[in-house]
Structure 1
Amino acid sequence: MTGWRHDSLGRQIDRSAPLPFTFDGKPLSGFSGDTPASALLASGIRVLGRSFKYHRPRGLWGMGGEEPNAIFDVTENGHTTPNVRATTLLLREGMELRSVNTAPDAARDRMGVLDLFNRFLPGGFYYKTFMAFGWMRWEPMIRRMAGLGRLDPGHCPPADIPPVNGRCDLLVIGAGPAGLAAARAAARNGREVWLIDEAAEPGGSLRWRGGDIDGGNWREFARDTIEAVTAAGGRLLTSTTLWGAFDHGLFAAWERRDGRPDRHWRIRACETVLAAGAIERPLWFANNDLPGIMSAEAALHYLSLHGAIAGRRILLATGNDGSYPIADALAQAGCAVILADARTDPPTAPEGVEHLPAARLTGANGRNSVSGALIGDRAIEADTILVSGGYTPSVHLHCQAGGKLDWNTASDSLVPRPGSSVLRVAGAANGGFGLARALAEGHAAGGGAGPAPRVAVGDWQLTPMRPDPTLRGRQWIDPQNDVTLKDVRLAAQEGYRSVEHLKRYTTLGMATDQGRSANFAGLAAMAALTGRTIPETGTTTYRPPFSPLPLSVIGGPRRGALFNPPKRLPLEAAHKEEGATFREYGGWLRPAAYGHGDETELVQQEALAARKTVGLYDASPLGKIEVIGPGAAELLDYCNYLRISTLRPGRARYGFVLSETGIVHDDGVVLRLAEDRFIVSASSSHAASVRMIMEEARQDIFDPAKSFIHDVTAGFVTLTVTGPKSRDLLRAAELPEILCDDGSLPHMSVIETRWNGHGLRVARVSFTGDRSYELTVPARHASALRDTLETARQKVSGHWIGMEAVMILRAEKGFILVGKDTDGLTMPHDLGWGGPRVKRKDEYLGRRSLFTPEARRKDRRQLVGLETTDGKTLPTGAHLVPVDGKRRSLGFVTSSCFSPVLGRPIALALVEGGRERIGTELGLFHLGETGRVRICGSCAFDPEWERLHA
């Protein structure tokens, strides 16, 4: 044995390929096949991180996803990936590992002083402490302390992770003994089997424990199984994490491929076997969080696969048979091993191992790492403490699939209830802790006929191990989040006895290991403290993902335009010829302004020109949802705040679509073309959601055979003509004269006519407050209509205007944008539309919510206008506050701009009791600056509406 690396053990590493790396700036070296965890263990470094709350030193505990302490920010090729678990990452040359939640590093963390104040920082302290002096006083400090690692803003993960669909007869999750037995049994019956495992090779615990199966080495058994699976058309996916079980038998898996892009699998199987194994539990004793205290199974894992020695003088504390082969392997590797078994009648100890029966570990000595242990009152000299408190089955995927759990006394664990999910569970995941039982259960789950694979060893025996509330000293339940047994006791005393409440009050199990090493202990402690059994206490909810995975894996190439493709106007090229600058509005790329130069000046010129002459803009993104059939009017009555059935054919009506909570979801115009035909002109950003709201009502509430909904937005182009000379432009374009006749086409009416041999629909509606016409043609005729209007525009000195100018025009009239001038609490009567709420007696979507106590409040935020007292344009989002007295937000500015036709700034705002405040002054607060504004009506331009009919 040389240093902390055994000279001959470690079959997974290549000693001829050294890999230099750094940890907290210190140069170190490992070998190809190492993980950062095994390389650091072999280097003898004990302190790898700090706990989240108290910043106590933390060392390596586990060997996989259960690791709560060894979490690093990893820098490669100049890019940093945060919060990477050292146990699940292959070491690569030049890696820079940086401990998280430390300053300046893990060994010298200045924040370690917080542990001196631990008595003032118990579980739930933030709920109480931060009530004092106001949350805003504490928030900056909390934000600085929150989180573990740090994001690298310049690191954009690769987008070339393709989603791949797959199907099979049998999906086997886990390639340990039970999984291999299930796969072999099914494959020999000719079934297509997919075998998935997180490790780089199959075998599970056999890889470090070894064993003979059917009279031969386990490797022969594994090789025969893989050959049978492949021959039957199946596949083996190693280095693959099956991270989620979803409805209808869908499973999601992340495959890591060295040197090639990863893959994200979406798998559906006729049947599924879960053989995910179990996680070794810790033991609970005073100072059980010191570096140098490790999982016994993990110590064997690192010794066998990496040759890394956990310690030289080792105390192994256990209460089960599974620890005896570990003690034997460590002793044969040259370690001095003391085996302390809590059972009074344990098996015979391996040769060379000092045996202590009926011995319970009560404490660990040391400051920054283990220097000794206590067995009762007896001091034991040791540099490492290995513990095994039993095993917790990995039931996460079973529970994600809707499965329930039962308590199994023999295995001292919660095990899957048979038949409660679509998964058949086998082996250690089913409470079968031992090679013989794992093989037998796996063989049966795979549908195998005949005898199961045979082994010479029997099943393991174990005794329950629990946290002892009577033991002196701090016992750590969740080492990453610094939850102690004392915190669980405090939660019980204060009434947080539900497991879900316990979790949130103490943060138990909310660490990045998702409670793998902590949940059972917290559950057992709460059960003991409240006099309940573990089944009575309950369990937390398991949710995907099973293990942390990069969001880029789930997203794959679906980012940017591939995730949310911008919708494009059919006339985009023509607008570019006019010098348009494009931006996204409601998911559409639309002209923001036309011409070259300062955009602010261009927008002001366009808005002023539209008020003086005529403006043209492309309104094609406005929703065009056709609702037809004898039940169309009834359906629209239900889906709209204003009654639609009273609308005459040829007329239009403005209104709102509400959510079930009475909140304004969208505003728009409904056109009635015939008794049984309507066009719902929703706003461009809400067209899809409005269609879904109506479709849900059509299918769930009404007779779906009496009405039909079609979204034809993309099939038509709408060009809007607005301004005092809009009628002159229509005449110059030689459009049908009926369009210029106010008797035939008054405001809020619609007409369908013919132009150039094809259909033309014209709606007399206005989003600017001036006389306006919306001209709609099929998209294939858009260029012809645009060319005709362009020629006429030049004759009347009109202007193309972009969306920024349109926003000014609508704000001058107090017209709203839902989502900008409303928020998630705005109801129609907050906008001055209280009539239907009072008059309508029939049922409509959201009606009940409009009469709740919350909806009836007199101080609800209402839409009003604002006038500045200093002539400055108001910042959007600025808060309105009382002029005198305690500063609090009475509302906020929703829209703000400079009106060129009025020659002054204007703004809209949502203000508490706004309409009753008209004429009064309020304070303005924004980013530390203050000012004053005067409340006024929302309509700043042409309040008499004379220009609409001019």
Structure 2
Amino acid sequence: MSPRRSDAGGRIDRLRTIRFIFDGAPYTGHAGDTLASALLANGVSLFGRSFKYHRPRGVLSAGVEEPNALVTVLRGEVREPNIAATMIEIYDGLTAVSQNRFPSLSWDVGAVNQLGGKVLSAGFYYKTFMGPVFGPLKGTRFWMFCEHFIRRAAGLGRAGTAPDTARYERMNAFCDVLVVGSGPAGLIAAKAATDQGARVILAELEPHFGGSANWSGEVIDDMPAADWAARTAGQLEGHDNVRLLPRTTVWGYYDGNTLAALERVTDHKETPGKGEPRHRYWTIRAKTVVLATGSFERPLVFPGNDRPGVMLAHAAERYANEYGVLPGDRIALFTNNDSAYRAALALKKAGAAIVAVVDVRPELSSEMRELAGEAEAEILSGHAVVATEGGKALSGFKVQRFDMESGALSGDARSIHADCLLMSGGWSPTIHLASQAGARAEWNEALQAFLPPKPTQKWIGAGAFNGHFKTLEAILDGRNAGLSAVGATGTPMAYPSIESLPGDPRPAPVFEIKAAGKSFVDFQHDVTAEDVRLAHREGFISVEHLKRYTTLGMATDQGKNSNIPGLAIMAEALGKPIPEVGTTRFRPPYSAVSIGSLAAERFGDIKPERLTPMHDWHIANGATMYAAGLWYRPMIYGLSGETIEQAYVREAKATRESAGIVDVSTLGKIAMQGPDAAEFLDRVYTNMFSTLAVGKARYGLMLREDGLAFDDGTTWRLGEQDFLMTTTTANAGKVMQHLEYYLDVIWPELKVHVTSVTDEWAGAAIGGPKARAILAACVTGTAVDNATLPFMGIVRGKIAGVPVMICRLSFSGEMAFEVYCGAGYGTHVWEALVEAGKPFGLVTYGLEALGTMRIEKGHVTGAEIDGRTTARDLHLDWMLSRKKPFIGSAMMDREGLIAPDRLELVGLIALDNRPLNGGAHVVEVLDEANPHDSIGHITACCYSPALGKHIALALIKGGKARHGSRAFVSDPLRNRFGPIEIVSNHFYDPDGSRMHG
């Protein structure tokens, strides 16, 4: 028998012994144990070290809120750090190690930080490392000297580098009612909704359904609460309209009643079953959500409250009732409410000696005195714990008389011998999901807790979530919630008979016992009560600033323990009530979520596969596809035996000689409508658009606010107040955000509506000397001659019976036309164009040929508009209007942006006629052994079939002035060195005669 395991009781299977390893030492437990309960049963009290001071820490809680007992789980070479020992179900072969210590948990050199005192107080990193360094490193900043050591000290557990071989799944689920939490309220809510025929999902983060009923001492329907919960869950499992999800944490609440959940499928198994994933990520869309998430017990703030052996009272009750484990032999309790007395009685029945109950309240009810008597505990009402004693384990504590009204201590301190001190500071409803759903919590003075906000989405609260901590109230809440969720009222339901201990859930408003020594608020991040007051003294009076300056609530437990005590201390310092101070917003995830589950089946390249309407046609007709930005696009349409270069050279040459067609559905397309649309375009683009005639298009350039180039494209005027803007493929989303920001924030008075219609239109660009003849052969309803469709003109007609819109513009440098139709007709129109082009020698071409022709023509893309170039750098200064202001016009003439030695766009020709490489440097003096003095770099390169040479576009210092000069390409990584000539970026048809036709 383990030294702390009771002879009977709990849900564990005492006939099954489990062997596991912690910090290299072998231990045994039983099936159903957590790592925390099994180690406690073996007499282990030291679980970890705190983040900043490396103080010894024991287990504080029994659930997901655990801040101290964080360990790293090892599965072969795979390390998973920062897992709460309270949430790890043991299995044969489990191996775990403690964290944040060196060389060992019991002897940690980092504990020297405890001598740091005020040097390591809140915000020390902002103040300590900013000064200069003297001596040999004089002239450097202290931070630069310390950064290496700080980074090594940061964090708790150490992540591994070995690939995770586990499998993960993603699931989508739809239901009428999602019930989160399976305590009495959640079980009854699920049953009520199920009985009405609703599709119900019940999610519970623990392995067993029942929530707090699993470890309470209550009797429901003449059976232990755990048995009642198991029976009720079994009744639910027998219905086809219910899905039960144990070991499932609902961690995020998003718009449209969409919730995210993580199911831990095989973490508790030594070997997963065939085909079983480790974790399953659920996206659940529910008509109504019932939040029955319960509540957390709060710690009390007093000196030494972090010593191993100090634990939450409810956690100790759970260890005794659920696992048959006693956290100590001589146990005392420190409380400000009645719930600790139930814990005292449970522990007494489990075999522990209860030496004292210390209660800050001067007056106690007769029922509480009777419970303490049954537990054979001395009652010290009107007292407080002022210190704890011991080293790496508790040996005792000191108490003094305490005036609850003034917070003053009096009389001599008395020492009490105990190896476990349980504390209970009241209860905080678990309102995280409700807060994520979009509203601020509401303070309840009687319960000294934040209650859930008024719903902004379709959810209903039940049980302790609503501040109803008694089981009967919780069951009533759950029944009403379950019926309301399906729109039923007044349905009769048999209520169970409940035998529970008396008690008042309302705590005394005491949050800190002010005595000598460190009193911890946030246990994991070592935030003390004095740190909170220091933040106030230094001007951090906002609760959000307090959080970030002290790191209160930023640990892995996200303030589940520390939030309310910290706010109370802050409120006292400000002289304001807690509701005026407010609380921070809870943000997803509620608890840690594995990265593997977020990616699930999508591994490797996890970007979404975005396909054009003609994608299947491209595949069927021999296209080699690749990812280009967010889209899959044809690279080449290779013939048998062709290399990539041979294919794109053939495609580009055929396009220039006859005609070619390319899929341009991926271009960003934004519909812009409204009486102020033209004015808005004038402000967004560098050139004028309000003068553009209906039925015409114009090339436009956008700058960022800092005067640097942002994006280019064409915008078509379809009506007086109707425009279609096209953007580069890569920048479609960014441009949309850019437009929406300026309309929503900067110019909300403009009457303009913008809509992304990229996916609504399929597009094909057909170009070459015979492009017009091909169009004329298949377009009906309009002519396409030069008079009807001049350069940058727009016409509407039909191709193969499908309405199309055609604009004459060119990216290839040839006479070209862009043809758009509804996305659903994209393949139909594409096939009609290809068929019409066969007599004219039309070829389909991919991105490689498109890129080749644009380089030959000298057009720019994202490779040149890279966030560092200006319109002048790209020789687009002719587009900078002097007749109007526009975004970026105030900054584009800054001294640094018009300097003569800026990188400018040029063309390069390889004089040795060897391939060039993107990213290669250009130098004036070639030094292969010691490459240096780069004057620029290559942005794009290809073999030019029009010139019969290897060419490139590049950004070169003083580029235009260097036309006709020679330099060298220097590419040591790819061992490419050689002579080049710097020329104009317009290699092909510089006067545009072919394009204008």
What TM-score, normalized to structure 1? 0.78
Going from structure 1 to structure 2, the CA distance change for 1:232 and 1:564 (only over 3 Å counts) comes to: closer
1:724 counterpart residue number: none
Aligned equivalent of 2:664: 620
- Unaligned 5+ segments in structure 2 are 132-139, 267-272, 401-412, 483-488, 924-933
Cα distance in 1 for residues equivalent to 2:994 and 2:35: 73
Question: Where do 1:635-654 residues align within 5 Å?
Answer: 641=685, 642-644=687-689, 646-647=691-692, 652-654=697-699
Work out which of the residue numbers 589, 606, 617 in structure 2 matches 1:545: 589
1:28 partner SS: strand
Q: How does 1:541-690 map to 2 (within 5 A)?
A: 541-551=585-595, 553=597, 564-567=608-611, 570=614, 580=624, 582-591=626-635, 618-623=662-667, 641=685, 642-644=687-689, 646-647=691-692, 652-656=697-701, 666-670=711-715, 681-685=726-730
* % identical equivalent positions: 31
Displacement of 1:586 = 4.2
User: What is the CA–CA distance in structure 1 between the aligned matches of 2:375 and 2:835, rounded to whole Å?
Assistant: 96
Distance 2:936 2:710 in 1: 20
| Counterpart for residue 169 of structure 2 | 160
Distance 1:892 1:151 in 2: 40
Alpha-carbon distance between aligned partners in 1 of 2:35 and 2:657, rounded to the nearest angstrom: 72
Equivalent position of 2:284 in the other structure: 266
Match for residue 531 of structure 2? 487
Match of 1:117?
Answer: 116
2:904 alignment partner in structure 1: 864
Counterpart selection for 1:323 from 340, 351, 358: 340
Deviation at 1:514? 1.1
Answering whether residue 427 of structure 2 is matched by residue 391 of structure 1, we say: yes
Greater shift in the superposed pair: 150-159 or 735-744: 735-744
Are residue 237 (structure 1) and residue 255 (structure 2) matched? no
Aligned to 1:4: 4
- Which of the residues 827, 832, 836 maps onto 1:779? 827
Task: Evaluate the alpha carbon distance shift between residue 619 and residue 484 of structure 1 in structure 2; reply closer, same or farther with a 3 A threshold.
Answer: same
2:573 aligned partner: 529
Q: CA deviation at 1:508?
A: 0.6
Correspondence for 1:48: 47
Which residue type is aligned with residue 242 of structure 1? V
- Aligned pairs for 1:489-504 within 5 A: 489-504=533-548
Are the counterparts in 2 of residues 587 and 685 from structure 1 also a CA contact under 8 Å? no
Shift of the alpha carbon at 1:90? Answer: 2.4
The equivalent of 1:59 in structure 2 is: 58
Residue 380 (structure 1) aligned to one of 400, 404, 416? 416
Match of 2:386 in 1: 362
Residue aligning to 2:87 = 88
Offset at residue 36 of structure 1 (A):
1.8
Deviates more, 1:190-199 or 1:362-371: 190-199
Which secondary structure state, in structure 2, belongs to the residue aligned with residue 300 of structure 1?
helix
Work out whether 1:908 is the aligned partner of 2:955.
yes
Question: For each residue in 1:869-902, what CA deviation from the matched residue of structure 2 results, as whole angstroms up to 9, or x when unmatched?
Answer: 999979749999xxxxxxxxx9997935478667
Aligned letter for 2:15?
Answer: S
Shift of 1:236: 6.7
Shift of 1:690: 7.1
Moved more, 579-588 or 85-94: 579-588
Distance 2:789 2:494 in 1: 87
Amino acid across the alignment from 1:3: P
CA distance in 1, matches of 2:580, 2:964: 63
- Describe the shift of the 1:603–1:42 C-alpha distance in structure 2 as closer, same or farther (beyond 3 A): farther
Shift of 1:165: 0.5
Letter of the structure 2 residue corresponding to residue 864 of structure 1? E
Q: Deviations over 1:355-399 (max 9, x none)?
A: 433331112233333233222433333332222222222222333
Residue matched to 2:217: 210
Secondary structure at the counterpart of residue 324 of structure 1 = helix
- Counterpart of 2:13, as a letter, is D
Query: How far 1:491 sits from its partner (Å)?
Result: 0.7
Q: What does residue range 436-455 of structure 1 map to in structure 2 within 5 Å?
A: 437-439=473-475, 442=478, 455=499
CA 1:284–1:669 in 2, change beyond 3 Å: closer, same or farther? same
2:730, 2:862 within 8 Å by CA — same for their partners in 1?
A: no
Letter paired with 1:353: A
Q: Residue by residue, what CA displacement relative to the aligned partner does 1:120-146 show, whole Å, maximum 9, x if unpaired?
A: 232222333454456766655555444
The residue type equivalent to 2:169 in the other structure is D
Moved more, 299-308 or 249-258: 249-258
Distance 2:187 2:759 in 1: 54
**CA-to-partner distance for each residue in 1:493-512, whole Å, 9 max, x for gaps?**
11001111000111110111
Q: Take 1:720 and 1:947, find their aligned partners in 2: how far apart are those partners?
A: 14
1:624-650 Cα distance to aligned partner (Å, 9 max, x none): 969799999969957973555654577
For the 8 Å contact 1:340–1:358, the answer to whether it is kept is: no
Say if 1:468 and 1:947 are closer, same or farther in 2 by CA, change over 3 A.
same
Structure 2 counterpart SS, 1:160: strand
Pairs aligned (count): 912
SS of the aligned residue for 1:332 comes to: helix
Q: Superposition RMSD on alpha carbons, in Å?
A: 5.6
Higher mean C-alpha deviation, range 638-647 or range 117-126: 638-647
Contact kept, 8 Å, 2:300 with 2:425, in 1: the verdict is: yes
User: What displacement does 1:14 show?
Assistant: 1.2
| In 1, Cα distance between equivalents of 2:187 and 2:29 | 31
Tell me, in whole angstroms, the C-alpha distance in 2 between the residues paired with 1:400 and 1:675.
44
Change (3 A) 1:22 1:456: closer
* Secondary structure in structure 2 of the residue aligned to 1:364: strand
Select between 618-627 and 118-127 the one with higher mean Cα deviation: 618-627
| Alignment CA distance shift 1:59-1:498 (3 Å) | same
**2:388 is aligned with 1:353:** no
Structure 1 unmatched runs, 5+? 722-726, 842-846, 881-889
Partner residue of 1:401?
Answer: 437
Cα 1:50–1:821 change in 2 (3 A) is farther
Q: Check conservation: 1:652, 1:671, Cα contact below 8 A.
A: yes
